[in-house]
Structure 1
Amino acid sequence: MDYKGYNIAVHELGHNVEQVFSLYGVDHTLLAGVPNNAFTEALAFVFQSRDLELLGLGKPDAASERERVLGELWQTWERAGIALVDMSVWHWMYAHPDATPAQLREAVVGIARDVWNQYFAPVLGGEGSTLLAVYSHMISYPLYLPDYPLGHLIAFQIEEHLKRKGPLGAEFERMATYGSVTPDQWMIHATGAPVSAEPLLRAAEAALSR
């Protein structure tokens, strides 16, 4: 197994641990689970970020922490782009219920190009890029992609909470066994604040000023 495979495996381990807690640790059958897929992704991201620690390579220093924050901002931005494409594609499919696969492909590529031109080309260039159309999730797993940027935001809030409270194991179990309540209620229980992009934006601004 190479590092990429190991990193993904740790992410999947996070899903498994979360699901054991949220399925068997919630005290009411109808509340089993987490609010939505963004939360299971967030908890898996928390595991994934500790992959090197699991290998005994130590905790991140100030420089690597700065890179982590900027990496989270970058991934959230990138995945917000594919989320916008995903949502627009499903709007298109509802508006064109008899579309052929070829027409769907053409629509996806066009939507991806439009989203890139509006949100990414002003920063990165590459006018007309169709890179955001690469994710097969948007057809295989309906409307799953928007859960990824939300998952990054939630994971970052959880990480900020874990810096103040700990240890990870006890806090992870406390969060994962709260149940499938509303997203903000889950987050208030988990971190003391509702879901927000502000913690990541503040941390990224501070990282860029160093």
Structure 2
Amino acid sequence: MTMGTATPAIRPNYGTRTSTGPAACTDAFLGRYNVEDSMCRINRAATERADAHSLALVRPREVIDLTLTRHPGWSKDEQRKIDAYVNQLDMLNNQDRTPLEAPRFKASYRYRCYEPGCRGHDQGLLDWEFVALQRRLTGLSDEETCRQLRAKFLTMMCNPRHDLAFYVGNQAKRVRVFSVLGVYYPGR
């Protein structure tokens, strides 16, 4: 390959993707993808069909709250998996593995989607950025940590000046339970 030329990359066909309903997107990047306007419809599909989508990008109509609760620590099953990873032999790397620490807080978003009659959704937040921010706030009181988490993940990210969407997903063993995996919040 000569300097200045690029190998063609495989790209999605953006011409086949459209935004849906009242959640039509104003962001150029996000507008290329199928943004769902109804979490209720996604939940129904997961209940009715085994082949329903397990990942989606959902535009909330109204974010009601971000609930923060003390993280209870890892369950026995989670701790077993962490221990197995830490104790796993690696022939190429002799460094000690540090076990994953549970964050101080867990969170869930309460919101309504655009489905007429939506009674609201309460979905846990599994965003790595949420945990990373907690790690940077070590040493602060619980009250101050919660204040800063809410300031970022509710006040700033869910501000009406942003074109907000939630990345949501479920797991094979619990297809009816969707969590917020990340938050997309470009300016309008």
Give TM-score, length-normalised by structure 1.
Answer: 0.24
Greater C-alpha radius of gyration: 2
TM-score w.r.t. structure 2 length?
A: 0.26
Give the number of the structure with larger relative contact order, counting CA–CA contacts within 8 Å between residues 6 or more apart.
1
The structure carrying a bigger helix percent of its residues is 1
More strand by share: 2
